[in-house]
């Protein structure tokens, strides 16, 4: 069976690489994860959800984080796009990407 899980979607530590707003829309605070990558709410260690460190296309490094609500919405978007392309999800409800995204959606209480 071909490997269809996008390797970038789920890191080995279980953190999802959530889909982010366009890089040009992110402030320095958002790039560092000091405030939510989507709604710009200031984050604390208790409220922040890791959105997946990644290199930025402009050469920098992103450490994006989000509030629970926004991360949940991003997880929903990721799951929607992922599940249509993933052969594992078709037959196996325990696809790790799906499980991780569903957990974020539940934590957001969407």
- Residues engaged in binding Zn ion (CB under 5 A): 36, 38-39, 41, 67, 70, 86, 88-89, 95, 97-98
In whole angstroms, what is the distance from residue 41 CA to residue 55 CA?
23
Q: Nearer to Zn ion by C-beta: 6 or 54? A: 6
CB of 92 to Zn ion, least distance (A): 8
CB of 11 to Zn ion, least distance (A): 15
CB of 95 to Zn ion, least distance (A): 3
In whole angstroms, what is the distance from residue 77 CA to residue 82 CA?
8
Neighbouring residues of 83: CB distance < 8 A, sequence distance ≥ 6: 89, 98
Q: Nearer to Zn ion by C-beta: 12 or 59? A: 12
Question: Is there a contact between 9 and 34 (Cβ–Cβ < 8 Å)?
Answer: no
């Amino acid at each position: 069976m071909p490997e269809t899980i996008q390797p970038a979607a789920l890191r080995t530590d279980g953190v999802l690489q959530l889909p982010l707003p366009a890089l040009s829309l992110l402030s320095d605070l958002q790039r560092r994860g000091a405030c939510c990558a989507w709604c710009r709410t200031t984050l604390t260690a208790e409220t922040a959800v890791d959105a997946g460190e990644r290199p930025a296309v402009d050469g920098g490094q992103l450490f994006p984080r989000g509030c629970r609500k926004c991360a949940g919405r991003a997880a929903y978007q990721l799951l929607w796009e992922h599940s249509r392309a993933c052969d594992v999800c078709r037959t196996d409800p325990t696809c790790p990407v799906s499980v991780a995204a569903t957990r974020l959606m539940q934590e957001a209480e969407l």
